[in-house]
Structure 1
Amino acid sequence: MLEGIIVKGIGGFYYVKVDDKIYECRARGLFRKKKITPLVGDRVKIRISREDNTGFIEEIFERKTELFRPPVANVDQVIIVFAVKNPDPNLWLLDRFLLLAEFKDLDIVICFNKIDLISEEELKFLNDVYLKAGYKVINTSCVSGIGINELRQILMNKITVFAGPSGVGKSTLLNNIQPDLQLKTGEVSRKTNRGKHTTRRAELLELNIGGWVVDTPGFSSLNIDFMEEEDLSLYFREINEFSGECRFVGCRHYKEPDCSVKKAVEENKISKTRYNNYLMFLEELKKNRRY
């Protein structure tokens, strides 16, 4: 049997790259019985039919990570891409992306793209919010080429998910990293100020610098009902950092007295933007528990 990696899945067929060849494969029925669905990024063993050179997936190696949206396995890091303009950045949505990535314990990089469209002061505000929270932030522009080499270095020799809403420039960035990827790019709708979907399915793209990227379909909402209300603060890095000094064990950092997190917000050690988003997510989880 041969060992390879699933780079694409379409309609029950899985395309497995082994060395420099790609084989069209089906999954054995035993996976269906075990309710296991092969994912892009899975390391697998395949058996090749001599008749037509297609294959069957015989074994799926243990996954080190597993995402469901996008459905991909064995990711090392996620680069969350948001445009600073066209469309305007929705930090409430960005924080939802961060929650999911933190929940999956992925390495995270935030990429603010299209920086040629705003002032340095506006860019500094966005950077400060997330640098203060403890994230690595890079700024890019496909017009000026700023940040492209830094992004290339981050991608090297890792499996990376490119995540973010439609229209923020994910495919354009990847085309700048490696032009022969020739990914389709789209414009932002003038009516809705949202991007048009150009990526149709999760697909693993091999980089000539080493590593893989998953260019994923853009989406504009993420459900956080998988999370427990009492655990929410664990996935806000800066809130979790300050929460140990609160007066009450299990403090939700909302209406409780002597809360070290609220004090840190007042002292500008925690961004008010991030804290307000935390409160909105907390209220959302409370409502979910009532129904």
Structure 2
Amino acid sequence: MAEGRIIKAISGFYYVKSEGEVHQCRGRGVFRKKNITPLVGDFVVFDKNNPDEGYVLEVKPRKNELVRPPVANIDQAILVSSATKPDFNPLLLDRFLVLIESKGIKPILFITKKDIIPEKQKQVIDRYVSEYRQIGYQVELLSSKENLSELSNFESYFSKNVSVIAGQSGVGKSSFLNAINPLLQLKTDDISKSLGRGKHTTRHVELVEVFDGLVADTPGFSTLDFNKVEANELVECFPEISEQKPYCKFRGCLHNKEPKCAVKQAVETGEISAMRYEHYISFLNEILSRKPRY
């Protein structure tokens, strides 16, 4: 019996790292009966008596988990957006942020391709960067995949952390990881010109060593739903809105149609970004209009 962390899961096998060695394991049949699915990032107890194939016996409690990508026990999420090709999409970024904030994971924003932004778009990108930094998010601007040597300056972001990299397809996630760990040689595809988005290139989830931490490379995807976020929880996923919540007249204010709402007043004075508030209302309506779960 030994303990370790699952660093890769593929085709029914779990690769558990323990004391510097990686052990190939299968899951116990009882996991299926109990509806337990071991995830990459899980701390597990496993039987390593068989040197060729061990068995995962127990999954330790998780501090958090994501469904898509399926990763557990994450310290931070590096959300990668591109400034252009595909164009920066603040609505999609805010969907990612809501998901990450709802799981209690620290988000860090990386915006790629700063060196190929058309001149007319530079002011727009600068405004977005300023708005997100004003909220309190860490934002870094990176060059395109042909010129990513600057990433070595960001070693401190990864040290001692388990990070997940997420973002829409085509923004350069695999190029990003290849730049900070060239041994990975992760496959990257060009942007599909007809679709305006990248092709899915990452086939499974794996924790890889980057500097002095672990990073999961994850498939790009373009939609997120809020099936597990309730209306009263959404406000906590917008830090600048949550800060104003105590000043609203009514407890339980959803900052939508209620009178004497401090959040709406802060939007009118410019203290809260009108764009972010519009996204909040859009997500709130989405949550309120979904069918009840029984």
Q: CA deviation at 1:147?
A: 4.9
Q: CA deviation at 1:184?
A: 0.8
Task: Report if aligned partners of 1:187, 1:196 keep a CA contact under 8 Å in 2.
Answer: yes
Higher deviation after alignment, 64-73 or 115-124: 115-124
Give the 5 Å matches for 1:22-37. 22-37=22-37
What is the aligned partner in structure 1 of residue 6 from structure 2? 6
1:37 counterpart letter in structure 2: T
Higher deviation after alignment, 111-120 or 71-80: 111-120
1:152 aligns with 2:155: yes
Give the 5 Å matches for 1:174-189. 174-189=177-192
Q: Secondary structure in 1 aligned to 2:174?
A: helix
What is the aligned partner in structure 2 of residue 202 from structure 1? 205
Give the 5 Å matches for 1:20-169. 20-50=20-50, 53-118=52-117, 119=119, 120-141=122-143, 142-145=145-148, 147-169=150-172
1:22 counterpart letter in structure 2: V
| Matched-pair identity in % | 45
Structure 2 CA distance, aligned partners of 1:222 and 1:94?
10
Structure 2 CA distance, aligned partners of 1:138 and 1:182?
24
Q: Deviations over 1:48-95 (max 9, x none)?
A: 244x62111122222222221111111111111111101012211111
What is the aligned partner in structure 1 of residue 260 from structure 2? 258
Higher deviation after alignment, 16-25 or 222-231: 16-25
Structure 2 CA distance, aligned partners of 1:225 and 1:263?
29
CA gap of 1:8–1:145, structure 2 versus 1, over 3 A, is: closer
Q: CA deviation at 1:172?
A: 0.5
TM-score, normalised by the number of residues in structure 2 = 0.92
Q: Secondary structure in 2 aligned to 1:23?
A: strand
- Which consecutive segments of 4 or more residues in structure 1 shift more than 3 A? 142-147
What is the aligned partner in structure 2 of residue 17 from structure 1? 17
CA gap of 1:57–1:126, structure 2 versus 1, over 3 A, is: same
Task: Report if aligned partners of 1:8, 1:40 keep a CA contact under 8 Å in 2.
Answer: yes
2:258 counterpart letter in structure 1: E
Structure 1 CA distance, aligned partners of 2:148 and 2:69?
28
Task: Report if aligned partners of 1:87, 1:167 keep a CA contact under 8 Å in 2.
Answer: yes
2:251 counterpart letter in structure 1: V
Task: Report if aligned partners of 2:8, 2:206 keep a CA contact under 8 Å in 1.
Answer: yes
Task: Report if aligned partners of 2:16, 2:24 keep a CA contact under 8 Å in 1.
Answer: yes
Task: Report if aligned partners of 1:139, 1:147 keep a CA contact under 8 Å in 2.
Answer: no
Task: Report if aligned partners of 1:205, 1:212 keep a CA contact under 8 Å in 2.
Answer: yes
Structure 2 CA distance, aligned partners of 1:162 and 1:226?
21
1:192 aligns with 2:195: yes
Q: CA deviation at 1:146?
A: 7.1
Q: CA deviation at 1:258?
A: 2.1
How many matched pairs?
289
Task: Report if aligned partners of 1:163, 1:218 keep a CA contact under 8 Å in 2.
Answer: yes
The structure 1 residue matched to 2:250, chosen from 248, 251, 264, is: 248
Structure 2 CA distance, aligned partners of 1:247 and 1:253?
11
Q: Deviations over 1:182-239 (max 9, x none)?
A: 11112111112111111112111122x2111000111111111222223221211111
Higher deviation after alignment, 13-22 or 38-47: 13-22
Q: Secondary structure in 2 aligned to 1:275?
A: helix
TM-score, normalised by the number of residues in structure 1 = 0.93
Structure 2 CA distance, aligned partners of 1:41 and 1:147?
28
What is the aligned partner in structure 2 of residue 284 from structure 1? 286
1:107 counterpart letter in structure 2: K
Structure 2 CA distance, aligned partners of 1:150 and 1:106?
23
Task: Report if aligned partners of 2:79, 2:110 keep a CA contact under 8 Å in 1.
Answer: yes
Structure 1 CA distance, aligned partners of 2:116 and 2:269?
31
Structure 1 CA distance, aligned partners of 2:174 and 2:278?
31
Higher deviation after alignment, 197-206 or 119-128: 119-128
Task: Report if aligned partners of 1:265, 1:275 keep a CA contact under 8 Å in 2.
Answer: yes
